[in-house]
Amino acid sequence: MRITAIASLAALLLSTDLSAASAAGETTFWLDQVDLKAIKQRRGVPLANLAVGGGKLIMDGKTYERGIGTRSISELVLDLHGEATRFSAVVGLDDSANDRKREGTVRFEVWVDDKQAADTGILKVGDAPKTFDVNLTGARTITLLLDDGGDTSNGDLANWANARIELASATSRRPTPYVARPAPMPKIASTTSSKPAIHGPLVYGATPGRPFLYRIPATGAGTLRFAADSLPAGLRLDPATGIITGQLAKEGTTDLQLKVTNAEGSATRPFRIVAGQHKLALTPPMGWNSWNVWGTAVDDAKVRAAADWLVRSGLASYGYNHIVIDDAWTSGRDDKGELKPNEKFPDMKALADYIHSKGLKFGIYSSPGPKTCGDFQGSYQHEAQDAATFARWGVDFLKYDWCSYDDVAQDRSLAELKKPYRIMGNALAAQNRDIVFNLCQYGYGDVWKWGGEVGGHMWRTTGDLLDMWANLDSVGFRQAGRERYVSPGRWNDTDMLVVGPVGWGPDLHPTRLTPDEQVLHITLWAMQAAPLFIGADLSKLDPFTIALLTNDEVLDVNLDVLAKAGGRVWSKDRTEIWSRPLADGTIAVALFNRGLDSHRIEARWSDLGLKGTQPVRNLWERRDLGNFDGGYAIEVPSHGAVMLKIGQAK
């Protein structure tokens, strides 16, 4: 869902005195006195002493004169300087959330020095507000978190009413926005090498009789030459480009060796081609999507540039092979009902051909509703016609966004949630072209349990991800427990990546995630076997971001052919450990620190199902750490991650 901040609210925020402080001699610090810029909020802006819509703070019919109106996901972290004694507040959904859709669901949490001190659980429209009363004696920090209840921010108009912090004395230092201590850059090994190497998935599936396109991801200095032994019938390899094309002649599995050669030598990699029905996306799809960078400002030139830079930056050489146009490309229909691209896309077939000429896949976007989220033409009641149009243009990937389908759906029953995706899934399957189907409906109805049965290959499991820590933390870690629904061709999509220059167009900014948060981001997505779609200006990626996106040992975990997604095996306060079994018999293990301070985290073999002495390798550093008996411990930075591979490969 894309919700733009209302200009009047922004003006109201600017007119608010953000630097107000308690009068001398008072022992109460009201939350509405905080600098509102310190509140990080996914959508819109928070307001002092007003609800998000601009009205009074009202919950369960009662009006509150003081407090903060906010929308999920939002977070405020305050430095208490050890001089606070108590926090209290009345929290809940504002009465204005009781609208026609009644879809607001939120969860308030209070964390004190990285330990949870209070939690409302999930509150829905109509639930009575809750009261917090938290002891802060001796505490250094307090984190006030409003989560989205596990779905989206829609309708999440919530209040921290009568929120205040009591101080030890009238001379106590007032709380101030928390400022994280400077942290060293995380250690990420460079992936640059002049020697030849092949990267990317070890398996690829396609349907016999349909166009086949695969670019061998390979690196190395100078001119590369490609070869493959025993390609299945119907396929051919261009030895100069490494692009495999043609049509598979029949069903079956072919195991072969890919080879790349340059002046410094050669490298091989095993590769399996699976020809059959329903064999698409056997590993999580990877590529680039226009939304997080350009939003509705996307156009033909920007998409062509993205294809150019995906190759030029070296990202295509590591398996990023999709170029996807998100919202804002349609312009209604012609007199035959055919979808029309708008003036920004003069020839969609020519654009697809350009992308295909580089060995890349072409993706596009639509909605099952009458309109897309950006208010452009959707596919409602034209599903078969649009699927045929997409196939004729050469589309390889469709992102299908729920958006306005609420306006035509009877309700959000499971049958109604499945209906539009089954219709389009059947329409795509009827085309003589392989098209990966990405369901985008934010996890409604536990889509991870049924997305595959309606023809989906990947499905969004959350609301939108923005470059904000609380947002990343919430949507990323809520995936624990959903890993059992992942299998080849069925992937949980935790949304597009928010690294590099982003902005949702046209004005861009460097990601607001810290370097450690970015490492955690990619680590968590790789552990989950999540699709990896970059949402950045590829022409402006710095060396750190390139290294982050091209660590082949991390990518190999993401693309592991066993297709067993990782899950949480241990947690304490704001630290946790995830593990993921790999096809070679080893285990990928990630140590996560979600807290404000660095923490020493120990991966114990007993928690991982291991015994005895085990070899440990740091994947981000691409370095063997040695053999360890019983476990391995390391200091993990705030909002950071360490990614390990443990065990002896078969």
Indicate whether 241 and 296 sit together in one domain. Answer: no
Assess whether pLDDT exceeds 50 at residue 15: no
Burial of residue 8 (number of CB atoms within 10 Å: 0-12, 13-18, 19+): exposed
Query: Are 221 and 264 a contacting pair, CB within 8 Å?
Result: yes
* pLDDT, the chain, mean: 95
Q: Does pLDDT of 30 surpass 70?
A: yes
Alpha-carbon gap, residue 328 to 89, rounded angstroms: 42
Asked whether residue 190 is assigned to any structural domain, the reply reads no
Please report, for the domain that includes residue 360, its CATH number: 3.20.20.70
Pairing of strands 322-324, 361-366: parallel
The structure tokens listed for 447 are: 């889509």
- Please give the model's pTM, rounded to 2 decimal places: 0.94
How does 116-151 read in b/e, with b if 16+ C-beta sit within 10 Å?
A: ebbebeebebebebbebebebeebbbbbbbbbbbbb
Segment 290-328, tens digit of pLDDT = 999 999 999 999 999 999 999 999 999 999 999 999 999
Mean pLDDT of 375-389: 98
Name the helix (H) or strand (E) containing 425: helix 414-429
Q: Would residue 184 count as lying in a domain?
A: no
Distance of CA 29 to the CA centre of its chain: 37
Q: What is the pLDDT of residue 102?
A: 84
Assess whether 226 and 310 both reside in one domain: no
Question: Given 94, 95, 464, 552, which residue is catalytic?
Answer: 464
- The total number of structural domains in the chain stands at 4
Residue 22 to residue 32: CA distance in whole angstroms = 10
Q: Is residue 367 part of a domain?
A: yes
> Of 241, 275, 309, which closes a domain?
275
Check whether residue 216 and residue 324 sit in a common domain.
no
Is residue 542 among the annotated active site residues? Answer: no
Query: Does residue 418 contact residue 409 with C-beta atoms inside 8 Å?
Result: no
CATH of residue 623: 2.60.40.1180
Q: Are 170 and 89 in contact (CB under 8 A)?
A: no
In the structure, what pLDDT confidence band is assigned to residue 154 with cuts at 50, 70 and 90? very high
| Distance between CA atoms of residues 60 and 128, nearest Å | 6
> What pLDDT, in 10s, does the model give residues 579-591?
999 999 999 999 9
Please tell me which residue in 113, 396, 401, 493 is annotated as part of the active site: 401
Q: Are 363 and 396 in contact (CB under 8 A)?
A: yes
380 and 502 housed in the same domain = yes
Q: How far apart are CA 273 and CA 187, in angstroms?
A: 36
- Using the 3D structure, point to which of 275, 309, 327 is the last residue of a domain: 275
Residue 642, token pair as written in the block: 């360490």
The band of 565, judged by pLDDT with boundaries at 50, 70 and 90, is: very high
Tokens of 451: 């997305």
Neighbour tally for 477: CB within 10 Å? 17
Counted residue by residue, the chain has a size of 650
Strand-pair partners of 122: 107
Long-range contacts of 58-65 (CB under 8 A, 24+ apart): 58/94, 58/95, 58/96, 59/90, 59/92, 59/93, 59/94, 59/95, 59/129, 59/159, 59/161, 60/92, 60/95, 60/128, 60/129, 61/95, 64/90, 64/159, 64/161, 64/162
Taking residues 20-36, report their average pLDDT: 76
Residue 487 within a domain = yes
Question: Which residues are CB-neighbours of 250 under 8 A, at least 6 positions away?
Answer: 208, 233, 275
Positive/negative CA dihedral, 33, 35, 38, 39: positive
Question: Predicted confidence band at 3 (pLDDT cuts at 50, 70, 90)?
Answer: very low
Tell whether 590 and 501 lie within a shared domain: no
Residue 464 annotated to the active site:
yes
Domain of residue 367 covers 286-554
Q: 318 and 458 in one domain?
A: yes
Mark whether 59 and 131 lie in a shared domain: yes
Q: What pLDDT is recorded for position 12?
A: 36
| Same domain, yes or no: 142 and 264 | no
* CA–CA separation, 409 and 309 (whole Å): 40
Each residue of 576-625: pLDDT tens digit?
999 999 999 999 999 999 999 999 999 999 999 999 999 999 999 999 99
Find where tokens 């996914």 sit.
42
For 59-82, b where at least 16 C-beta lie within 10 A, e where not — what string?
beeeebebbbbbbbbbbbbbbbbe
Q: What is the rounded average pLDDT of the residues 176-182?
A: 95
* Token pair of 124 as six digits: 């829905």
Query: How would you list the strands of the sheet with 203-206, edge to edge?
Result: 203-206, 265-275, 252-262, 225-228
> CA distances (Å), 508 to each of 432, 535, 537, 567, 634, in order?
39, 11, 8, 34, 36
DSSP state of 371: B
Longest Cα–Cα distance in the chain: 85
Q: Could you report the per-residue pLDDT of 44-77, keeping only the tens digit for each? A: 999 999 999 999 999 999 999 999 999 999 999 9
What's the pLDDT at 100?
A: 77
β-pairing, 130-135 vs 62-64, is unpaired
Q: 529 and 476 in one domain?
A: yes
